[in-house]
Amino acid sequence: MAGPFTDALAWVVVGLFLAGALLRSRERSGARAVTVAAWAVFAAFWAALVPHFAFEQKSFVEGFLSLAAVPASLYVGWLLHDGRDSLFVLSKAVAVMGVVYLPFETIPALTVGGLALPSPRHALIAVVTDQTMWVMETLGYSPTLVEGDQGYLNTFKFVTDGGHVILFSLILACTGIGSISIFVGLIAAVDAPLGRKLRALAIAVPIIYVLNIARTTFIGLMFGKQYMQWFVDEVLFLFGGTDPYKVSFYLSDRVISQVLAVVALIGVTYLVVRELPELLTVVEDVLYVVTREEYDLREALDLPERSEVGPGAD
C-alpha cells in the first residue's frame, strides 16, 4: 500500500464491511446502509492508490485496475442500495480478505517480555526469499543475499559481466498473500459445507503460492542476469525510466508477470468453482458489474449439481 493514510483507510473499509456482515447475519436493520457506505469508502481507498501504482510503481496493470475499481466500487454500492442482495456475499468476502491481508501490511515488529517478535510482513518475506533463493540455486544460479532497505535479508545481489551491481528486493507484494487473501475471503464468504470449503482452499492456496515462487524466481533471474534487454529506449520511454539496466525488470515484472498473474487467477478461479459452485454467485455479480448483463455460469461451465443433505454435507 502507499502509506499510513491508505493503511488506516483500509482498516476503516474492513471495519465497515465487517459491521455490515455482522448486522446482516443477525438480521439487524442498518446492514444495507453500513455496507453501502463501506463500498463508497472502498472507492476512495482505490482512488488514493492510483498515483502510487501508476506513477511510483510504474505498473500499468495495477494502475489501470485500481482506477477501474473506483467507479466499480461505487456501482456495487449503488446496486446493493437498489436491492441486489447477492452482493452481500461479495461484501463479506472483502471483509475477510482484509482481515487476512492487513496484518501483514500494517502490524509492526513487537517486543513482548523482552522477546523480539518480527512483523508478520518480515516473517513472510523471509520465507519467500529463502524459497526463491533455493529455486535459483537449484537452477544453477548463485546471487548473494544481502540486507535491503527494510533492514532484513530480502535482496538478491547480482553482478553483471561488466561489474554493474543489480539489486532485486522482495517486498510484501512479492509473497502472493494478496491473491491468497482474495480466495480465502471468497471461499469463506459463500454459504457451503465446511468440507468443500477446505478442499477449495487446498486447491487455491498451494497453486497460488507455488506460482508466486516461480514468478519471483523468473523476475529475479531475468532482471539480475539482464536476459530481457529488448527495445531499451522504447521500454524506458514507455515506463518513464532512465536506468537501462531496469528494462529487464520492467518487461519481466510489469508486463509479463502481471499479465500472466491475471490469467493464473482466472484459471485458479475455474478450478475452485468446480469444487465450490456456490462461488459462482460472486463471479456472476462481478461480471454483472463489468458488463451490466446477467449470466448463468453453472451451465456454461458444465459444473456438477450439488445436492446438500444438511449442514454437514460435503
Copy the grid coordinates of residue 183: 480466495
Interval 211-267: pLDDT, tens: 999 999 999 999 999 999 999 999 999 988 999 999 999 999 999 999 999 999 999
pLDDT band at 1 (very low <50, low <70, confident <90, very high): low
Q: How far apart are CA 257 and CA 312, in angstroms?
A: 40
- What is the Cα–Cα distance from 18 to 115, expressed in whole angstroms? 32
Task: Give the Å distances, CA to CA, from 253 to 148, 176, 236, 256.
Answer: 19, 14, 14, 6
| Cβ neighbourhood burial of 195 (10 Å; 0-12, 13-18, 19+) | exposed
> Is the pLDDT reported for residue 65 higher than 90?
no
A 10 A CB-CB count for 190 gives: 20
Cα diameter, the chain: 68
User: In b/e form, how buried is each residue of 121-160, taking b as 16+ CB within 10 angstroms?
Assistant: bbebbbebbebbbebbeeeebebeeeebebebbbbbebee
pLDDT by residue (tens digit) across 184-201? 999 999 999 999 999 999
Q: Which are the catalytic amino acids?
A: 174, 215
User: If pLDDT is split at 50, 70 and 90, which confidence band does 53 have?
Assistant: confident
Using one digit for the tens of pLDDT, what is the confidence trace for 34-51?
Answer: 999 999 999 999 999 998
